[in-house]
Structure 1
Amino acid sequence: MELRSLGKSNVKIAPILMGTWQAGKSMWTGINDSETIEAIRSGFETGITTIDTAEIYGDGYSEQIVAKAVSDVRDQVQLASKVFPTHLQFDQVIEACDRSLQNLKTDYLDLYQIHWPSGSFNSEIVPIEETMKALNTLKEQGKIRAIGVSNFSRAQLAEAQQYGQIDSVQPPYSLFWRQAEKELIPYCVENNISVLAYSSLAQGLLTGKFGANHQFEEGDHRAKNKLFQGEHYQRALDAIEQLRPIAQKKNCTLAQLALCWLIAQPNTCAIAGARNPQQALGNAKVATINLSEAELAEIDQIGRQVTNHLDDNPVMWTFNV
């Protein structure tokens, strides 16, 4: 898998990243640690060498699982983690990074990201200048190699950039969720900032595995995802049926088709989670699929049948941020 530059930094990342929210288990159901470890390892062995986690994923548990999977090949992987908005004061950022380093059994992170803007989830408002000062300090100390932000608007990203080099932004972005294309991604293209798309399969919706009357298990946060509700869900199911013939023609799965479309977008890499080795291997095969301009355009138009009916709120869930 050919690596790509992360913004203006010296870090190289895979076009498909391993997402590990599910590894923390919190807000997910049916997650098995040994399978998750095998999935991360299988992904690594097939070229998915960049792994994205966060301190909030199971209160550090996801980071610990990642360490169990790849700590013996640390020099061959790129590790990315995030600091939560409750830890954005200078000293808190330093302490949070040290905890993440300990959990991941490493002495540096290739990418450290602000997970949500200050004030999210009723957190204390901390000036971005203070948080960036801490991140720049960590970078000078060699504890992190690049700085990123997640869930930031164009305006918030531009403000953060005033205080240091931002090499990536992580928005929710998929064929069925495209608010980032309006302002954020054009800004990233103009400023050479990498887009690391999360929920790149619309939280599993783009795999085509959900039926018309699907009910999530108690505790599964996807029940609050707008795409799984009402007319949005029906439009998504209709679009998936239109995507199936294209996937069959390309001899790939719906998930692989959606990821292939996504990494063909400007400056964009895709974060994709995996519950087991089979899913990880399927994600890795995306790098071998080629879509023509006509096929990309056709997929684009099918996706718009869903996204044209969504509002401008970039948050995918109905729980309060």
Structure 2
Amino acid sequence: MRSIDIGKSGVAVSAVIMGGWQAGLKDWAGITDSMSERAVKASLDAGITAFDTAESYGDGHSERVLGRALRGVRSRAAILGKVFANHLHEDAVIAACERSLKNLGTDYIDLYQIHWPSGSFGMKPVPPEETMAAFCRLKKEGKIRAAGLCNASVEAGEKYARHGGIDAVQSPYSLFFRQAEKSLIPWAAGRGVAFLAYSPLAQGFLTGKFKVGHEFEPGDHRTRNRLFSPDVFPRVIDCVERIRAVCRPLETSPAAAALAWVLSEKGVAAIAGARNGEQARMNAEASKIALSEKDRAALSEAALPVASIFMEETLMWYPPERKGRSNP
């Protein structure tokens, strides 16, 4: 599998990165630790060598699961961790990183990311220079190798980059959600910064698994996803069928095509979750699909009835009136 350079840090990650939100268990249903550990091992076997997690995914549970799964094979993997928005003061960043290192059972994190920028969720703002001072200190001590920023605007990226450097940015990007195409993706490319796309399958809505009348299990956060709202979900179903029609001559599935579409964007890696080994292997296989410009355009057009709703959105997962915490 091809790799993506994380800025000029010397860190490289596989083009497909396994996402670890599900492994945290909170906000998801029907997943066990053993399933997540098998998915990590299947990912490694399939060529996926980078794993994204966060301290907030199940209050460290995702980190602990990943640490167990990588025991004995840590040198084969790149770990992408995150510090949450309530831990952005310098001492709090250091303490959060130490907890994550302990949870992961490692002495370094390859890419450490600010999960949400200062001031998110109504929290008291912390000056970017204070947060980045902690990142610089952690780099100097060898506890992190690269610094990243998630869920941020270009303006926020500029502010953080001025105080120690940003090697990667992470934001949602998929056939259904393309706002990054006119903001963070070109900004990152111009700065030599890696762009990591999370939710490339729109949290499963692009897989074609969900039909009219679908009900998620209790505890599954996707019941609050805007794509599942009564005014949008019928369009989602229609778009997936349009995508399926584009996929037939390509002899591939909507999920594989949607992931390949994201990966066809130059310099972009895709963070795809996997709740079992089969999904991990399917994600890896999608990296082998080479879409022509014609195929990419056809997929873009097929998804446009949903994508057009979110063209100006920077966050899409919850209704506009919900301003509380979101974990991706």
State the TM-score, normalized to the length of structure 2. 0.95
In structure 1, what is the equivalent of residue 323 of structure 2?
320
Q: For the residues of structure 2 that align with 1:129 and 1:262, how far apart are their CA atoms?
A: 32
In structure 1, what is the equivalent of residue 168 of structure 2?
168
In structure 2, what is the equivalent of residue 216 of structure 1?
216
In structure 2, what is the equivalent of residue 259 of structure 1?
259
Q: CA deviation at 1:75?
A: 0.7
1:153 aligned to 2:153? yes
Contact 1:13-1:50 at 8 Å conserved across structures: yes
Question: 1:12-161 to 2 correspondence within 5 Å?
Answer: 12-161=12-161
**Structure 1 256/311 Cα, relative in aligned 2: closer, same or farther at 3 Å?**
closer
Residue identity matched to 1:33: D
Residue identity matched to 2:225: N
Q: CA RMSD in A?
A: 1.2
Contact 1:21-1:53 at 8 Å conserved across structures: yes
1:187 aligned to 2:190? no
1:197 aligned to 2:197? yes
Q: For the residues of structure 2 that align with 1:137 and 1:303, how far apart are their CA atoms?
A: 44
Q: For the residues of structure 2 that align with 1:251 and 1:59, how far apart are their CA atoms?
A: 41
In structure 1, what is the equivalent of residue 269 of structure 2?
269
Contact 2:242-2:303 at 8 Å conserved across structures: no
In structure 1, what is the equivalent of residue 2 of structure 2?
2
State the TM-score, normalized to the length of structure 1. 0.97
Contact 1:15-1:263 at 8 Å conserved across structures: yes
Where does structure 2 lack aligned partners over 5 or more consecutive residues?
Answer: none
Contact 1:197-1:270 at 8 Å conserved across structures: yes
Contact 2:175-2:300 at 8 Å conserved across structures: yes
Q: Deviations over 1:6-42 (max 9, x none)?
A: 1222011001000010000011111111111001110
Q: For the residues of structure 2 that align with 1:310 and 1:64, how far apart are their CA atoms?
A: 35
**Structure 1 312/291 Cα, relative in aligned 2: closer, same or farther at 3 Å?**
same
Residue identity matched to 2:65: I
Residue identity matched to 1:49: T
Question: 1:245-256 to 2 correspondence within 5 Å?
Answer: 245-256=245-256
Q: For the residues of structure 2 that align with 1:205 and 1:136, how far apart are their CA atoms?
A: 38
Q: For the residues of structure 2 that align with 1:280 and 1:308, how far apart are their CA atoms?
A: 30
Q: CA deviation at 1:139?
A: 0.6
In structure 1, what is the equivalent of residue 11 of structure 2?
11
Q: For the residues of structure 2 that align with 1:288 and 1:268, how far apart are their CA atoms?
A: 15
Contact 1:188-1:267 at 8 Å conserved across structures: no
SS in 1 for 2:64: helix
Contact 1:71-1:106 at 8 Å conserved across structures: no
Q: For the residues of structure 2 that align with 1:9 and 1:22, how far apart are their CA atoms?
A: 28
Residue identity matched to 1:117: P
Q: Deviations over 1:30-63 (max 9, x none)?
A: 1111111001110011111000000000000000
Q: For the residues of structure 2 that align with 1:249 and 1:312, how far apart are their CA atoms?
A: 32
In structure 1, what is the equivalent of residue 233 of structure 2?
233
Q: CA deviation at 1:85?
A: 0.5
Contact 1:49-1:76 at 8 Å conserved across structures: yes
Q: Say how many residue pairs are matched.
A: 321
**Identity rate, percent:** 46
Q: CA deviation at 1:311?
A: 5.6
